Structure 1
Amino acid sequence: MVLPEAQLLEVPQVINSLLKSDTTLQPLRPHLNLSQKSRAWNDKKITAHHGIIPTTQPVDITKMDKDEFKVYDLIRRRYLAQFLPQFEVDKTQIRLSCGTHQLVAKGQVTVVTGWKMLFRHAKEEQGDKQGLPVLNIGQNLAVVNTEVESLKTTPPQHYTEGTLLTAMVNVARFVTDERLKKQLRETEGLGTEATRASIMKTLYDRGYIQKKGKSVISTSAGKMLITNLPTALKDPGLTALWEQALNQIAEKQMSLQDFMQKQEQFVRYLIQTCGRQDIKMGNVEIKKCPECGKPLRKRTGKNGDFWGCMGYPQCNYVESSTKKKKSGKKYSSVNLSQQFAKLHQQVK
């Protein structure tokens, strides 16, 4: 959510209208700091329109249906949260030596609930944590009881569409460089609110991911793509670097020509890298349109799978996936490596 700084003057009116509209929010009043300015207020980041926020007029929430109230409630909570204190937690880690064994105990106690008081899951999270007693370094403790459990590690859960979108927003946690982390937090991760869903749709359309129940699963094509892409392209830190460059252009610190020149150099480097490495594509079928020469893409229609020309709508060539044609070829990883090598020669 990005908001124009001029609307800071309306904050008291908006807050008052929210508290008047729903008396259950009144206990929040002593905790609200209306002079607290979050990073949401930033004129430089506003594009087509600012984030959706509550109005300065009280509303009758009893006239809203269930779905309308869910949307309204989400918007008002997000708006109010920025004026509440930070969530503070006291984390403790104790390392114990017992004979030749090293044991670790971790505890967590909420000090200030802060903005989490607005969300139902806050109490559930606090219930999962344990507090630890105050101990001194070198203190001797008595072993009261021991218990052995045989457990198995479990793999991380598959993404759902919801958790995948959240991961795109919070992609900074996958980056180690602190400067790039900061940049990704400021730009709210990969894509924007308006483009993240379309990015996911593109991955579906190109056959890189698929739905399995509620889970989003990578396909064999998606796995092969990730396996063969250069490491630099798979690092979300690259997005942060591009964002930094675009900010420099906006602030007149870099010209568009310089940016495009750097992009050209980077693309050449990637082609050189791909030309030197082995391409592991497995048993991938590559087809060429016999009419226009462009690649064919495997698609799924109401009558099953078929091959369609990527030159559509200029070229309407289609072919059954069960039809055998001489133009369809199986390329090994050696063939693909040779193709990249030839491409590398062309751009020198």
Structure 2
Amino acid sequence: MRLFIAEKPSVAKAIVNELGVVKRNNGYIECSGQNYVTWCFGHLLEQAEPDAYTAEDIPVSKKTGKKIWRMQDLPIFPTQWKLLPKSDKGVKAQLKVIKTLIPKAQTIVNCGDPDREGQLLVDEILEFYGNKKPVLRFWVSAQDSASIRKGLGNLQPNSKYNGMKLAALGRQRADWLLGMNLTRALTLAHSSREERRLIAVGRVQTPTLQLVASRDLAIKNFKSIPFYNFNADIKVAGGSFKATWKAAENQKGLDESGRLVSKEAAIALKQKLQQAKSGVITKAEEVLKKQVQPKAYSLADIQLEASNKFGFSAQETLDTCQSLYENHKCASYPRSDCQFLPESQFDDAPSVIAAVAKSIPDLAALAKKANPSIKSPTWNDKKITAHHGIIPTCQSVSWEALNEKEKKIYFLIAKRYLSQFFPEHQYLVKTIELDIAGEKFCAHGKTVKVAGWKGFNEEEEKEELQVLPKVTKDERAAVAGISVKQDMTKPPAYFTEGTLIAAMEKIHTIVENPEHKKLLKEGDGIGTPATRAAIITELKKKGYLASKGKKINASEVGFALLKVVPELVKNPVLTAMFERKLKDVEAGTGSLQDFLNTQQKFILQEITKAKKLAGI
């Protein structure tokens, strides 16, 4: 007998469809060829709480039913880590099924997702039950029939992926050590027993709070200053157009963004330009450009768009996507950081397009115009990560069966998918540069040649460009007028949940160290697509973040927390340091224990400071 253990029921279902059902049972399915398939619901086991590692004689709090927090019990560094079944009854029942099946199997197949966490999720169950049977690894990045068959025909020894398991274990244990120890130490050091103020610390949670607080302070301390723009009305034989002044490198009175902020310099420039009655065309260029179809949504992408368009919170969007995936089965797995699609699914396009046409009345006509033979760059096996981009499935759904949120999100997903089957957007970009009294002026124009996918995506058009007349280099141009406009510099925008998710994903953009920047970019930022919304929700629940409309801010309690948290914990660089060491663990060039020892050393230093502050 061969036992397949899938990470989630949907993966189990895909495998069963290829193996062939013999008998359905409670919690597992018997398939042809002496194959049995069972499943998890994500992690079925979780780390034990600190009470499992501290002395038995510690008093229990009447309020919480747990042992009271004491500085003398810190640090808590487990020597034998304990995993416990999650408290959910369904989880316990499924674990019992798996426990019963393991001894009956000759071979077990780990069917976790193709990433570190997926590797650990099944391995930890096998270790929890002391499995000694041979284990193989099923590894696919998509759940379509062709991908599943390919994976079943290419099972590898599970030991090949041991480094991935150890890296996931290292991340899990290090996060526990940091969060459990520093939360207790800082809470005890900075609040009294009578008025206990929780100071919750987390490797991802705290830098996320710092992101918002820093933006709030930048807006609060921002001082708007005037800057000056010059525009020229130009006439040539072929027509007229507007051109904008571009500062020379040696221009005085510019700020770091290249804006003219000196009033004196602006007055002098105005006087100089107003004397000019003509100019000379120094450049006339016309270039055909193409804009490829937009990639499929990652979770962060659709969370940002739903926030901007509908004001949805990150959690609302995730929950809605999950409902479309689980309840209606009309959208693919949502917790994805990938914008690309597996080439093996390209042949499914006619079926998916038909399902969209049947499901969404307002897209039926557009779906009929879609050309399923067009293969956009979105189809790219080399860019697929653990999951592919979020797209509609071949299964149609009754439009009336969807609630309003589901309709909005499904419409976005379906429209983005249909975009793949329309031609590239092609347009001519014309650039004209002029010399007016020794100053450079530029004009840009655009003429659409092939609307393509943008023909029904008007909202994608962000830049309105004028249509420029035909000109030639060295042609004289009449200056009909020069205008100067005073604008005011604007502060950065407050975060919304959507833009905060995007900032967490692209956290490398604010890090200066090149090595840390590279690691954060390769590791897709801080948090994961599956956890970012939950992190924001948790920060709001604890009162560290507050929302007002779409805007999200750090609260007074959040600012107070950041004043006492160690600088490194607030900094995303900690994640970069984690990732650098975890890559070594995964590759086998570093040990799990060495990684944890490094974390414990840092935690011990901070606990020592907290104890000193508390007079211990």
In the alignment, what sits opposite 1:204? 540
Q: Residue 81 of structure 1: CA displacement?
A: 6.8
Equivalents in 2 of 1:191, 1:254: separation in Å? 23
Does the 8 A contact of 1:34 with 1:83 survive in 2? Answer: no
Which amino acid counterpart does residue 15 of structure 1 have in structure 2?
A: A
Cα 1:103/1:9, change in 2 over 3 Å: closer
Establish whether residue 27 from structure 1 lines up as the match of residue 370 from structure 2: yes
State which of 409, 412, 422 in structure 2 corresponds to 1:74. Answer: 412
Establish whether residue 239 from structure 1 lines up as the match of residue 575 from structure 2: yes
Establish whether residue 4 from structure 1 lines up as the match of residue 141 from structure 2: yes
In the TM superposition, what whole-angstrom CA distance separates every residue of 1:202-238 from its partner, at most 9, and x where no partner exists? Answer: 3223332212333212223333444565554444343
- Secondary structure of the 1:154 match is coil
Cα 1:217/1:67, change in 2 over 3 Å: closer
Which amino acid counterpart does residue 154 of structure 1 have in structure 2?
A: K
Cα 1:234/1:71, change in 2 over 3 Å: same
User: Which structure has greater strand proportion?
Assistant: 2
In the alignment, what sits opposite 2:612? 342
State which of 142, 147, 171 in structure 1 corresponds to 2:507. Answer: 171
In the alignment, what sits opposite 1:41? 384
Equivalents in 1 of 2:533, 2:378: separation in Å? 34
- Structure number with larger C-alpha Rg: 2
**TM-score of the superposition, structure 2-length normalised?**
0.35
Does the 8 A contact of 1:174 with 1:236 survive in 2? Answer: no
Cα 1:267/1:72, change in 2 over 3 Å: same
Equivalents in 2 of 1:35, 1:53: separation in Å? 12
Does the 8 A contact of 1:168 with 1:189 survive in 2? Answer: yes
In the alignment, what sits opposite 1:161? 497
Q: Residue 31 of structure 1: CA displacement?
A: 4.0
Structure 1 residue runs of 5 or longer lacking an equivalent are 276-338
State which of 260, 263, 269 in structure 1 corresponds to 2:599. Answer: 263
Cα 1:119/1:144, change in 2 over 3 Å: same
Which amino acid counterpart does residue 213 of structure 1 have in structure 2?
A: G
Cα 1:82/1:68, change in 2 over 3 Å: same
- Secondary structure of the 1:150 match is strand
State which of 582, 590, 593 in structure 2 corresponds to 1:254. Answer: 590
In the alignment, what sits opposite 1:126? 463
In the TM superposition, what whole-angstrom CA distance separates every residue of 1:6-26 from its partner, at most 9, and x where no partner exists? Answer: 364641343121222335134
The within-5 A match list for 1:170-319 is 170-177=506-513, 180-226=516-562, 229=565, 231-267=567-603, 271=606
Equivalents in 2 of 1:89, 1:180: separation in Å? 39
Equivalents in 1 of 2:410, 2:548: separation in Å? 31
In the alignment, what sits opposite 1:59? 396
Cα 1:90/1:176, change in 2 over 3 Å: farther
- The alignment covers a number of residue pairs equal to 271
Equivalents in 1 of 2:350, 2:595: separation in Å? 47
In the alignment, what sits opposite 2:231? none
Does the 8 A contact of 2:434 with 2:440 survive in 1? Answer: yes
Cα 1:229/1:95, change in 2 over 3 Å: farther
Cα 1:34/1:169, change in 2 over 3 Å: closer
In the TM superposition, what whole-angstrom CA distance separates every residue of 1:274-330 from its partner, at most 9, and x where no partner exists? Answer: x9xxxxxxxxxxxxxxxxxxxxxxxxxxxxxxxxxxxxxxxxxxxxxxxxxxxxxxx
Which amino acid counterpart does residue 612 of structure 2 have in structure 1?
A: K
Structure 2 residue runs of 5 or longer lacking an equivalent are 1-112, 115-139, 149-341, 358-363
Does the 8 A contact of 1:165 with 1:196 survive in 2? Answer: yes
Which amino acid counterpart does residue 126 of structure 1 have in structure 2?
A: E
Does the 8 A contact of 1:93 with 1:104 survive in 2? Answer: no
Cα 1:260/1:171, change in 2 over 3 Å: same
- Compute the RMSD of aligned alpha carbons: 5.0
Which amino acid counterpart does residue 11 of structure 1 have in structure 2?
A: Q
Cα 1:200/1:67, change in 2 over 3 Å: closer
In the alignment, what sits opposite 2:352? 18
Does the 8 A contact of 1:91 with 1:106 survive in 2? Answer: no
Structure 1 stretch 70-79 or stretch 106-115: which is displaced more? 106-115
Equivalents in 1 of 2:518, 2:420: separation in Å? 19
Equivalents in 2 of 1:106, 1:227: separation in Å? 49
Q: Residue 71 of structure 1: CA displacement?
A: 3.2
In the alignment, what sits opposite 2:87? none
Cα 1:9/1:39, change in 2 over 3 Å: closer
- Secondary structure of the 1:145 match is strand
Equivalents in 1 of 2:463, 2:470: separation in Å? 19
Cα 1:53/1:27, change in 2 over 3 Å: closer
Equivalents in 2 of 1:135, 1:64: separation in Å? 58
Equivalents in 1 of 2:514, 2:419: separation in Å? 26
Does the 8 A contact of 1:54 with 1:76 survive in 2? Answer: yes
